[in-house]
């Protein structure tokens, strides 16, 4: 069983989670289409997983500028919290 690891693997994971979130967003009736893959994932959980993947990239990189970019990407895709 082949796996993709490291930063590339986390980038791929983030892209896949975001693709699922976009599928939900593009649904004709977005209010009723709040899940993906038979309810295993919700829009919020997909965005949370994508943000976590970008944060994992930030932890793995040694370049401080790249680290900031990954954190910015994570913050951009994470579900917005209303306090």
| Residue-wise pLDDT tens digits, 4-51 | 679 999 999 999 999 988 888 887 565 555 555 556 778 888 999 999
Q: For residue 74, what are the CA distances in angstroms to 2, 41, 48? A: 26, 18, 9
Q: Encoding tokens for residue 27?
A: 């649904």
Q: Encoding tokens for residue 81?
A: 């919290």
Please give the pLDDT value at position 2: 45
With beta carbons less than 8 A apart as the criterion, state whether 17 and 6 touch. Answer: no
pTM above 0.75, yes or no: yes
pLDDT greater than 60 at residue 66: yes
């Amino acid at each position: 069983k082949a796996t993709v690891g490291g930063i590339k693997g986390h980038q791929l994971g983030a892209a896949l989670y975001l693709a699922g979130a976009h599928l939900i967003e593009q649904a004709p009736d977005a209010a009723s289409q709040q899940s993906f893959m038979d309810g295993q994932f919700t829009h919020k959980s997909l965005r949370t997983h994508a943000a976590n993947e970008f944060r994992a990239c930030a932890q793995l990189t040694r370049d401080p500028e790249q680290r900031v970019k990954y954190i910015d990407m994570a913050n951009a895709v994470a579900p917005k919290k209303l306090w």
